[in-house]
Amino acid sequence: AKLLGVHVRASAAEDGHVVVEAADVTEAHRVARVRRDFVANVSHELKTPVGALQLLAEALLEATDTEGGDASPDPAAARRFAERIQKESTRLGRLVSELLELSRLQGAEPLPEPQPVAVDRIIAEVIDRTRTPASAKNIEVLVSGDRALTVYGSEGQLVTAVTNLVENAIAYSPENTRVTLGTKTTVGTVEISVVDQGIGIEPRDLDRIFERFYRADRARSRATGGTGLGLAIVKHIATNHAGRVDVSSTPGVGSTFTLRLPGRPPEASVPLPQSVEI
């Protein structure tokens, strides 16, 4: 343990000996630091859209001012500001609901009462939820592999996880490409993979993208309305299901995210080892 992580206490015992006690608090320090960093990050992430909303609201007031302002009313500018207010407030709303989702997930380990969930139903629901962003970019979402599979857990959480992966695949891909949602089973494990033909991820970012608020490209994430929390949520859901999520990617070619889940009821399966620590 590092020196920082050791609490030492010395006291004189009744028989004249000196007793030295040392407690390793490295883990406690780490947890406290992670929590402080997270609160600082959340505050920063919330301040950005709130600041933008304040400025935009001022600009909107200015553009619609009919009494004694310097400039005359400008309805076209007013509309632009209102649209940006709508966009920023939508993103802020998503940020708040994803933060709530994340805190719920963190408190819920292990998963209460896992249910059998048909992979087929997950896929159908995900396709339904991602139809609008996919068609906006003319991206075809294909389904391949064996769909008559069952996993165990919460259908709602699993749909959220796969939806996040497909939404990312769409967000980080150019128009007119394909996203493939593949399923297969190998020795007691069900794999659901999302393959895209998008921008890919640099090797240096690969390990970090599952961290809360980490984005490989901040500007692009903002432009797509991203919050930086989607993959952290996916990772928590995978962990809650005794599963894991992995990624492989080639910049400029595309990425593959694979969710591996136990294909047997929880009491019959052994948790899969975790790859990334956050």
Judged by the rule CB under 6 A, the positions of this chain that interact with ligand ADP are 168-169, 172, 196, 198-201, 209, 214-217, 221, 226-232, 255
Q: Output 208 or 264, the one with its CB closest to ligand ADP.
A: 208
Q: Output 134 or 201, the one with its CB closest to ligand ADP.
A: 201
DSSP for 115-176, please give it: EEEEHHHHHHHHHHHTHHHHHHTT-EEEEEE----EEEE-HHHHHHHHHHHHHHHHHTS-TT
Could you check whether the bond before residue 110 is cis, i.e. omega within 30 degrees of 0?
yes
Q: Output 180 or 221, the one with its CB closest to ligand ADP.
A: 221
Q: Output 215 or 241, the one with its CB closest to ligand ADP.
A: 215
Angle between helices 75-107 and 26-63 (to 10 degrees): 160
Q: In angstroms, what is the minimal distance from the CB of 203 to ligand ADP?
A: 13
Q: In angstroms, what is the minimal distance from the CB of 257 to ligand ADP?
A: 7
Q: In angstroms, what is the minimal distance from the CB of 23 to ligand ADP?
A: 36
Q: In angstroms, what is the minimal distance from the CB of 212 to ligand ADP?
A: 8
Q: Output 53 or 213, the one with its CB closest to ligand ADP.
A: 213
**Longest C-alpha distance within the chain, in Å?**
89
Residues 6 or more apart whose Cβ sits within 8 Å of residue 83: none
Residues 232 and 182: their CA atoms lie apart, in Å, by: 21
Q: Output 25 or 276, the one with its CB closest to ligand ADP.
A: 276
Q: In angstroms, what is the minimal distance from the CB of 74 to ligand ADP?
A: 33
Nearest to 192 by CA among 263, 98, 101: 263
Are 157 and 241 contacting, i.e. CB atoms less than 8 angstroms apart?
A: yes
DSSP letter (8 states) at residue 188: T
DSSP letter (8 states) at residue 111: P
Q: In angstroms, what is the minimal distance from the CB of 54 to ligand ADP?
A: 23
